[in-house]
């Protein structure tokens, strides 16, 4: 597994290894984990309190650790969400009112509320990303296929499953391009500080090449008899009594936290 523990991009081989091996969270009903993902997204969206967002992020990391997944890998995979969120937050960081923290006369002013906004966005995004990784790394692909088959009408279930696999095709191409750049003397730190355009070009070329690769994969599937349908015969486990109790308690906690978050900084 040492070769799978490199890089900052999630790869399908690593995720399938942990999802199929049968860890502590693999015995949990996929319905419970899916409802938990929905609850995480709702909580990250409606909660405004910084302390509650920190707690939400801590819970996402705790669940990841309980699944016995590599924490070092999570730190590496968090790099791209962090870069994406920081890129988006640049558009808002200088528009927030508050006490100036960094000011360049005639250029921009960064306030304490602007920095707090960035922190909140990071906590929201990373909490959802962490739980999403926990979900897919503790759920077998056959179970994900079964969920899609029961939730989405045809042909949207097939579109979802093919999109799920295509995301990892994009990740694989990007990781290959990044490794090629690093092998030729590039580095992510130098890319951020002095050559960010290089990595923007790598991303653009990687996405375009991913579509080309996905088209070739599609033709290979058709040559092997793919007719546009992916039927699932997986019998999904229903949530246990304990699972339902945890979900109900979690919903109540989110509702109470939302109602009384005004008294929590």
Please tell me whether residues 89 and 27 are part of one structural domain: yes
In this predicted model, which residue has the larger pLDDT, 39 or 98? 39
Question: Is 21 or 58 the better-scoring residue by pLDDT?
Answer: 58
pTM above 0.85, yes or no: no
**CB count in 10 Å sphere of residue 29:** 17
77, 40: one domain = yes
Count of structural domains, the chain: 2
Same domain, 57 and 100: yes
Residue 146 has pLDDT above 60, yes or no: yes
| Cα–chain center distance at 160 | 16
Residues 27 and 147 in one domain: yes
Average pLDDT score over the chain: 80
Tokens of 93: 């960081």
Whether 178 and 9 have beta carbons less than 8 Å apart is answered as yes
How far apart are alpha carbons 92 and 94 in whole angstroms?
6
Same domain, 241 and 206: no
Q: Are 98 and 111 in contact (CB under 8 A)?
A: yes
Give the C-alpha separation, 253 to 259, whole Å.
Answer: 10
> Which of 28-37, 91-100, 151-160, 207-216: highest mean pLDDT?
28-37
Q: The tokens of 179 are what?
A: 């490794």
pLDDT, residue 211, reads: 73
Residue 109 bridge partners (DSSP): 103
Of 84, 81, 63, the closest CA to residue 8 belongs to: 81
Within this chain, do residues 15 and 70 fall inside the same structural domain, yes or no? yes
Q: Are residues 121 and 76 in the same domain?
A: yes
143 and 30 within one domain: yes
How many angstroms separate the Cα of 89 from the Cα of each of 83, 106, 125? Answer: 10, 20, 12
CA gap 214, 170 in Å, rounded: 9
Domain around 125: 2-153+237-263
Residues with Cβ < 8 Å from 174, sequence gap 6 or more?
9, 202, 203, 206, 210
Give 81-122 as a 3 state SS string: HHHHHHHHHHHHHCCCCCCEEEEECCCEEEEHHHHHHHHHHH
For the residues 26-35, what does the mean pLDDT come to?
Answer: 92
Residues 114 and 98: beta-carbon distance below 8 Å: yes
Same structural domain, 35 and 109:
yes
In terms of domains, do 45 and 168 share one?
A: no
**By C-alpha distance, which of 54, 77, 96 is closest to 174?**
77
- 55 and 120 both lie in a single domain: yes
Decide if pLDDT at 7 tops 70: no
**Whether residue 143 sits in one domain with residue 254:** yes
Q: What percent of the chain has pLDDT over 90?
A: 24
């Amino acid at each position: 597994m040492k070769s799978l523990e490199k890089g900052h991009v999630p790869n399908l081989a690593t995720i399938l290894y942990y999802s199929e091996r049968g860890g502590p969270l693999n015995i949990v009903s996929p319905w419970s984990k899916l409802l938990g993902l929905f609850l995480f997204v709702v909580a990250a969206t409606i909660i405004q309190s910084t302390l509650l967002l920190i707690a939400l992020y801590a819970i996402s990391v705790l669940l990841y650790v309980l699944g016995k997944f590599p924490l070092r890998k999570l730190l590496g995979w968090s790099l791209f969400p962090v870069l994406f969120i920081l890129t988006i937050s640049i558009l808002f960081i200088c528009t927030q009112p508050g006490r100036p923290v960094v000011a360049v006369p005639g250029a921009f002013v960064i306030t304490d509320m602007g920095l707090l906004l960035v922190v909140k966005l990071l906590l929201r995004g990373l909490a959802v990303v962490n739980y999403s990784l926990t979900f897919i790394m503790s759920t077998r692909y056959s179970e994900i296929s079964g969920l899609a088959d029961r939730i989405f009408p045809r042909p949207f279930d097939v579109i979802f499953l093919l999109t799920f696999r295509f995301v990892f095709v994009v990740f694989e191409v990007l990781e290959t391009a990044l490794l090629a750049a690093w092998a030729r003397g590039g580095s992510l730190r130098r890319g951020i500080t002095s050559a960010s355009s290089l990595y923007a070009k790598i991303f653009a070329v990687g996405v375009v090449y991913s579509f080309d690769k996905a088209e070739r994969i599609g033709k290979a599937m058709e040559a092997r008899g793919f007719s546009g349908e992916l039927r699932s015969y997986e019998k999904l486990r229903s949530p246990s009594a304990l699972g339902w109790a945890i979900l109900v308690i979690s919903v109540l906690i989110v509702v109470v936290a939302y109602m009384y978050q005004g008294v929590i900084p």
